[in-house]
Structure 1
Amino acid sequence: MKIVDGGVCAVNGVLAAGACDDDYGVAVIVCKDSDSTAVFTSNKIVAAPVILTKNAVENGKLSAVVANSGNANCFTGDQGIEDGKAMASVVAEELDFKFEDVAVASTGVIGRLMPMDIIGSLIKKAVLRLENSAEASKNAAEAIMTTDTYSKEFAVETTLKNGKSIRIGGITKGSGMIAPNMGTMLCFITTDVKASSSELNTALKKAVDASFNMVVVDGDESTNDTVILMANGESGESIDENFEEALEYVCCQLASMMAKDGEGATKFMEVEVNGAVNTEEARLAAKAVVSSSLVKTALFGADPNWGRIVAAVGYSGADIDPKVVSVSLQSLNKRVDIVDHGIIAAFEGTSQLEEAEDIMEEKNIRIIIDLGLGNGNATAYGCDLSYDYVSINAEYTT
C-alpha cells in the first residue's frame, strides 16, 4: 500500500469541484453510475439531506454528491426536504443525471432555512469547475469546511491478492460535535473497484467501526453525519481483504485528522487498548478514555494523571482487573510506563514521572493501556479540551 495524491480524484474517472461565498460553500463530486453505499448518524433528530440520501442509496447506485457548508438544513420541516431536493435537482439537470442518483449532504447551523439563492448559484459554479485533479479534490474539501482549520483528504493505492492495483480516495470535514458515533462529519470516498452495493456496505461498516466510530472531540453527536462510498468499477477488480484493509486505513487517517483539528484543540491523543477480553470491550475502554472530559483537560494541562485514565476504563463497561492493568505514555521519541501490572511506576520524585510530564507537553500523545485479560485491541482518537473550545461554541451562532 502506498499513499498517493489527489483525494477523491486519485481515482480515475472521478470529478470534483468546490465553490464558496463568504460563510457558505458547495462541493460536487461526480462518480458516474457507481455502485454505492452509505452510513449515517444514529441521532433520532436527522437533517433533511440524511433522509434524502438514505432514499437515494436504496437502489445501490449514485452518480454524484452535492454537499454544502454553512447550513445543516436540519429541523427545517417540509421546506428543508424541498430545499434538499432542489440541490439534487440542480446537479441532475446540469449533468443530465437521474435525480435519484444524486446524494445530498449538509453541515452548519441547525434550525435555519437554507439560503437557496446562494446555494443554488454555488452549485452551478462548482459544476462548471468539475475536473479530475488534485486541486479539484482540495477545492471540494475546502468548500465543506465549517470550524475546520484545514481541509482533510487522503488517498492510497494498494495491491490486491491477485497482484492488481486499485485506488481509494476520500475527503472529510469535521472538528466539533464529534462523538463515538461518527460526528459532525461528512466523508466522501471513491474507489475504482468493481463491487455490489452490498459488498461495499459490508466493507464500509467495518471500516467506520474502526475509524469514525472511534473518534471523539466533545462527545456530542451530530444530526447530519454521512459517509458515502462510491465505486465506479474502472479497475475491473473485485473486493478482497487487501481492499478492506486499505479502506479501513483511509478512514482511520481521515478520522485522526478530524481529532487533530478538534475545535480549540492544542493536542492530539491516540488511545490504544490491548489485552481486553474482546474487540468490543477494547473499543469501549478506548472510547471512554478519549471521551473523558477529565482526561482531555489533563491533556491540555500536560498533567500525566493516570488515575483519570484508569477511572475512565473502569466505567467504560469493559472488564478490568486493577492488579494486572498497565498504562504507558508515548511521544514520537519517548515512552514511559506509569502503571506497571497494577503497580504505580510514576510517582513524586521518580524519573518516570518527569518523563511522563515531558511527554504530556508534546503535541501528539499516545496512551497505551494493557488490560492483561485477553486478545482484544482497539484504537480511539481524540484531543484535549481547551479554553478555545468553549469560546468557539459559546459564540457559534452569534
Structure 2
Amino acid sequence: MQHVYAVDRFRASPTWPVGFRAYTGHGGLRADGDDISIVVSDRPAVSAAVFTRSRFAGAAVRLSREHAAGRRLRAVGTLAKNANVATGRPGDTHAAEVAGRIAAIVAVPTDEVLIGMTGVIGRPLPMDTIRAHLDRAARLGPAGFDADPVRVARAMMTTDTRPKTAERTVGRARIVGVAKGVGMLEPDMATMLAYVFTDAAVPPTELDAAFRAAVDKSFNCLSVDTDTSTSDTAAILANGAAGPVDPAEFAASLADLCLDLTEQLARDGEGATKLLRVTVDRARDDAQAKRVAKSVLNSPLVKTAVHGADPNWGRVVMAVGKNSADTDIDPNRVTVRFGALEVYPADPTPAALAELGEYMRRPEVDIHIHLGLAGGTATGYGCDLSAGYVRVNADYTS
C-alpha cells in the first residue's frame, strides 16, 4: 500500500483516478473564490453513501439519499457557503433543479447525481446567480473539466483554513478522497462532506460494506464540538477502469485513506492548535470503548487543558466517570496514560507533572484509557478548544 501525503502536510497534489474529471468555479455563493464543484466519471460507476441522521437534514441530503439508494452514482456536485437547510419547499425545488442542471452538464441521468450543500442554515439559495454560472459550465462541458482534487477540496471549504485530500494505491488502482469540515462536527452515520473516487472494480455490495466499515472507524470517530451537521454526507464512487483488486487490500487502503482525512479534519478544527487522539481499550465491547473515548474527547475541560498544556489529568478520569450507565467500569481496573506517561492510578510526582505539561505542548496529544474489562477498543479523533473557536462561531454570519 503506497501513501501519497496530503497537501496541508507538504504532500504531493494528487490527480484523479482514471476516468474521473472535475470542474470548479465561482457561482456567487461566497465573495470570491470557487464555490461550486462537480466531479464526474466518464463511464458508469457503482457507489455507496452515508448521510446525517439529523432530523433537520437539508434538501440536498434528502434528495441524495434517494439517488444513492440505486448504488449507481456517477457524479458529485457541491455548493459551498449555503447549506439550503430549513428553507421549506422552495429549498427542495432548488436542490432538485441543481441536481438536474448538473446531470444535464455531464450527460448522466439525474438520479446518478449526488449533491452536497454546506454553509449557513436557513438562507435560500441565490438561484439566479447559480443558474447563470451553471449555464456557463454547461457551455464548457465535461471535456473542458480540468480541476484537480486540491481545487475541488478548496471549492468545498467554508471556515476551513486549508483543503483536505488523500490518495492511496491498490494494485493498478488508485483511491482519491477530498473532504471539508472544521466545525459542527459530531458525526452520526457520516460527518461533514467527504467524497472518495476510485478506478478499482469493486462489486457494489463489497464497496458498501468496505465504505461503511471505513466510515465507522474514521469519520464516525471524529468530533470537534459535539454538534451534528444537517448536511453531513460521505460517498464513494468506483468506476472499475483499473480492473479488479484484492478485496482485503482495497478495504484496508480505503480505511487508511478515510483515517488520513479524519485526522486532517481534526487538525483543522475551528480554532484548533492541536490534534487530540483518545484511545480506549480493554472495554466491554467496541461500542463502550467508542462511548468512553467520545466522552473524553468532547469534554470542554479536557480540551481546554490540552490547549493550555495544563497537566490536570483528573479531568480525564472525570470524563470517563460521566458514563454512569456503564456500571462495569471499575476505577480499580482503569489505567490512564498521556503518551507513555501513566497518570492513573500512579500518583505523578512534581517532576512527572512537569513532564506531562511538556508532552501536552506537542502538536499531537494521545490519551490512552485502559478499562480492564474485555477486548473492546476504539480511537476518537478531535482537537483542543481555544478562544479561536469562539471567535469563529460568534461572528459566523455577521
The TM-score with structure 1 as length reference comes to 0.90
- Note the alpha carbon deviations across 1:327-382, whole angstroms, 9 max, x for none: 1112xxxx32212xxx23324x2x21111010111121111112222222111101
Match of 2:204 in 1: 197
Mapped pair 1:327 → 2:331? no
| Deviation of the 1:279 alpha carbon | 1.4
Change in CA separation of 1:111 and 1:383 when aligned onto 2, cut-off 3 Å: same
1:248: which partner in 2?
255
Question: Shift of the alpha carbon at 1:8?
Answer: 7.5
The equivalent residue for 2:105 is 94
Instruction: Give percent identity, aligned residues only.
Output: 38
Pick closer, same or farther for the CA change 1:132–1:174 going to 2, 3 Å.
Answer: farther
Q: CA deviation at 1:65?
A: 0.8
Deviation of 1:7 after TM superposition, in Å, equals 7.3
Gapped runs of 5+ residues in structure 2? 6-11
Q: Which residue of 1 aligns with 2:38?
A: 28
Distance 1:286 1:7 in 2: 33
Secondary structure of residue in 2 paired with 1:216: coil
Report whether the alignment pairs 1:142 with 2:154. yes
Mapped partners of 1:99, 1:344: distance in 2: 61
For 1:15, what is the secondary structure of its paired residue?
strand
Post-superposition offset of 1:239 = 5.8
Deviation at 1:273, TM superposition (A): 1.3
8 A contact 1:192–1:231 mirrored in 2: yes
Distance, in Å, in 2 between the alignment partners of 1:286 and 1:132 is: 47
Judge which range, 4-13 or 255-264, deviates more: 4-13
Aligned-partner residue type, residue 321 of structure 1: D
1:211 alignment partner in structure 2: 218
Q: Which of the residues 307, 310, 313 maps onto 1:306?
A: 313
Q: In structure 1, what is the equivalent of residue 9 of structure 2?
A: none
Task: Report the Cα distance in structure 1 between the residues aligned to 2:146 and 2:276, rounded to whole angstroms.
Answer: 29
Q: Which residue of 1 is the match for residue 169 of structure 2?
A: 157
Deviations 1:107-161 (A, max 9, x none): 0000100012233344455664867999611111000100000000101013xxx
CA spacing shift, 1:121–1:139, aligned 2, 3 Å: farther
Equivalent residue number for residue 68 of structure 2:
57
Structure 1 window deviating more from structure 2 (81-90 vs 134-143): it is 134-143
Cα distance in 1 for partners of 2:146, 2:78 equals 18
| Structure-2 change in CA distance of 1:60 and 1:258 (3 Å) | same
Q: 1:56 is matched by which residue type in structure 2?
A: H
Question: Structure 1's 89 and 251: CA in aligned 2 closer, same or farther, altered over 3 A?
Answer: same
Rounded to whole Å, the distance in 2 between the matches of 1:56 and 1:179 is 25
1:99 and 1:286, CA in 2 relative to 1: closer, same or farther beyond 3 A?
same
Corresponding residue for 1:361?
A: 361
Q: Which of 15, 25, 42 matches 1:19?
A: 25
Contact 2:22–2:146 (CA under 8 A) maintained in structure 1: no
- 2:346 pairs, out of 336, 344, 348, with 344
Contact 2:106/2:141, CA 8 A, preserved across alignment: no
1:105 match: 116
Maintained 8 Å contact 1:338/1:346: yes
The reply to whether residue 373 of structure 1 matches residue 380 of structure 2 is: no
Q: Summarize the alignment of residues 1-12 of structure 1 with structure 2, pairs less than 5 Å apart.
A: 1-4=1-4, 9-12=15-18
Question: Which aligned pairs between 1:206-245 and structure 2 lie closer than 5 A?
Answer: 206-238=213-245, 240-245=247-252
CA distance in 1, matches of 2:331, 2:305: 21
1:92 offset after TM fit, Å? 1.6
Report the CA distance between 1:33 and its aligned residue. Answer: 1.4
The answer (yes or no) to whether the contact 1:214–1:379 under 8 Å persists in 2 is yes
Q: How many residues align?
A: 384
Distance 1:169 1:14, change over 3 A: same
Distance of 1:364 and 1:75 partners within structure 2: 37
Shift of 1:181: 2.0
TM-score, normalisation: structure 2 = 0.90
Query: What secondary structure, in the 3-state scheme, does the structure 2 residue paired with 1:75 have?
Result: coil
Question: In the TM superposition, what is the alpha-carbon distance from 1:308 to its structure 2 partner?
Answer: 1.3
Bigger Cα displacement from structure 2, 174-183 vs 110-119: 174-183
1:205 partner SS: helix
1:161 matched to which residue of 2? Answer: none
